[in-house]
Structure formats: structure tokens, C-alpha cells
Amino acid sequence: MQHEEMINERIDQLIAEYLSGSLTADAFQELKNWSQQSDENRMYVRNQIEVWFSSGVTAKDKVFDKEEAFARFQKRIGKKEPKVYRFSWKTFYRVAAVILIVLLPLAGYWKGQETLRQTFSDMVVEAPLGARTKLYLPDGTLVWLNAGSKITYSQGFGMDNRQLSLEGEGYFEVVHNQDLPFEIHTHEVDLRVLGTKFNFKNYSDDEEVTVSLLEGKVALHNSLKSMSDLYLSPNEKMVLNKRTGEMVKSRARAENSMLWTNDELFFDEELLEDIAKKLMRSYDVRIEIADSLKNRRFYGSFKVMGNTIEEVLETIASTNRMKYRYENEKYILY
């Protein structure tokens, strides 16, 4: 009995560290492995998290106090007072969604701006406007979802397939599996790998699809135009024009494509129209562009944290290739 209590205390500590964002990769694997050893273990983790949800915090701008949440189940199981973790409800929701996806595929989830939705066959994870989401897929693959993005995958992911669909932008560090290729499907382009690191950007309202490869090798299939599959090597990128179906490969500093995971915006000769959409997602604002500017391309790098949308637009405008004004609750570029 004492041994079981020691194990439960260890698991409670791992959950606390995970939800506060301080859990190491090795400790996360320990928590994941323990939860998957039996239905009893899985239900224990689920119940502990549900106690945390019952803390009564509902406003998204309030501070979530783990001490209050832990006190509920500690009173039930008679443990000592734990370390107190404090952070915003928005942060708590994001990391809680991840642990529910990875450890508790049958758990329900509610509230907040991000959506975790389970249907009969699919799991769906979304990142809201103005925020990014980090998660681990069941096979251990690391995924960062950029603002306004969504991935969908089956509950059998990692066991009988590694296929998912992507809407928006995601950075992937794919765990190698010779027997199960990792596949991403979008309307315009399909990607297939065994294990690699790459960035895939394909928002539905973007004019172009971009895949940048950091490590490994990927095969790209053009679904808009008949052509041979295109293969990328490290520091190469593919750009597909959605209107013409043309898919072109070129050299690139691929590491720049994932700077957004560190809260940085990077424009590598991108269309101003697509840059505006990236700014709208990152800052959750409205931007309108004059037709004469839509085909202009810009290069630059900005930190989201510490820079307002006005400061970013002012820097772009300093090139003397555009102007902007704020009118009727939106920014107009002309």
C-alpha cells in the first residue's frame, strides 16, 4: 500500500510539472508509459486532471492556482501540501489539452478557446488565433501548430497508420518508423516521410503552399497538377502556386521556417497578402490590402512578444513600398 502511495505521489508531481510547462522529455515519457500500462493507471491520471478542472476557474483572463485544485483531491487521499504552480488559464488550457490528447484518448474536454474534439474515428487539435500549440502525437512525434491551424488524425494513429490532415501551419519533428511512414494530407499537396524535421504551411486562404526541410528527406505529391513526386533534401523548400498548380523546389535556410515556434515572425520574400494573413493570425486583428500591393514580396524578421502590430507595420512601411492607416477597426495597407 505504501509503495502504491509513493507511485501515485510521483505521478501527481509529474502531472503538476507537465501542466506548468516544466516537465522534461524523459519525465513526460515516464508519465506516458505509466498511464498506458493499464486502464486503472489511465483512469487515475484522468481523474486527477478532472479534479483540477473542478477548481472553479472559468474566466480565461484569471490566474489559475494549482493549490486550490490540488487541495480538492489531496483532501480525498490525504497528502501533504504540494508546490504551488501559477500561470494563466489560457496557458493551462493549452498544456492540459496536450496531456489529454496524448495520455487520455477517451477523455472528454470542454471550455476555452482551443478545441479538442473527439468523433467516432478522429482526434482534432486546433490552435486559436493569437496563440500557438505544442503537442506530442501518440507515436512521440513533436508538433507545433501555428495560430489558426488544425490537425486531424485517427485514434489508431501510431498503431496501424501515421496519417493526418493539416489546415494551416505546423512544424514537425517526426519519430523514425521504418514500418509506418508519416503522411500529411492537404487539398493541394501530400507529404510522406519516415522520420525527419520540416515545416509545412498551407492555410486555406494563402496563395501558396510551402514546405521547408530541416533534416531527413520528404516526398511531395502535387494534387493539383500531374507531375512526378518532388523530393526535398535538407535546406531545400518547395513552393506551390495554388492558382497554377506549379510546384517549384529551391535552396533555403530551412531553420528560418520554424522561427515562429519561438514567437518570431519571419518573411522570406513572401507575398504581402500572405504576410498580412500571418499578422492577422498572430495579433488577432483585421488587415485589408489594396489590390496593387497583393503581389509585392517582403523580407524581414520580427518578435511578436514586445512588438505591437503598429510597430511591425511601421517597419514594413519604412521600405517606402507601402503605407498603412487604421480605420473602422482594421488596418488598411495601400
Cα–Cα distance measured from residue 147 to residue 132, given in angstroms and rounded to the nearest whole number: 5
Tell me the CA end-to-end span of the chain in Å, nearest whole number: 71
User: 277: part of which helix (H) or strand (E)?
Assistant: helix 272-283
The set of cell numbers assigned to 297 is: 514580396
The set of cell numbers assigned to 302 is: 520580427
Cα–Cα distance measured from residue 206 to residue 277, given in angstroms and rounded to the nearest whole number: 8
Task: pLDDT tens for the chain, 334 residues: list them.
Answer: 567 777 878 887 887 776 555 667 778 778 878 887 887 787 777 666 655 544 433 333 334 344 554 454 445 444 444 444 444 444 444 444 455 544 544 333 333 333 333 333 578 888 888 888 888 898 889 999 998 999 999 877 888 789 999 999 999 999 999 889 999 999 999 999 988 999 999 999 888 999 999 999 999 999 999 999 999 999 999 999 999 999 999 999 999 999 999 888 888 778 888 889 889 988 889 999 998 888 888 888 888 777 889 988 998 888 888 999 999 999 999 9
Task: Domains for the chain: give ranges and CATH numbers.
Answer: 1-112 (no CATH), 113-256 (2.60.120.1440), 263-333 (3.55.50.30)
| pTM for the model | 0.59
Cα–Cα distance measured from residue 63 to residue 90, given in angstroms and rounded to the nearest whole number: 9
The answer to whether residues 260 and 279 touch, using CB atoms and an 8 Å cutoff, is no
Helix (H, G, I), strand (E, B) or coil at 212: strand
Cα–Cα distance measured from residue 142 to residue 82, given in angstroms and rounded to the nearest whole number: 29
Cα–Cα distance measured from residue 212 to residue 234, given in angstroms and rounded to the nearest whole number: 8
> Which residues does residue 237 pair with via DSSP β-bridges, in sequence order?
212, 250
Half-sphere exposure of 98 (CA within 13 A, CB side): 27
- For residue 92, which phi and psi values (nearest 5 degrees)? -60, -45
Half-sphere exposure of 221 (CA within 13 A, CB side): 10
DSSP letter at 61 equals: T
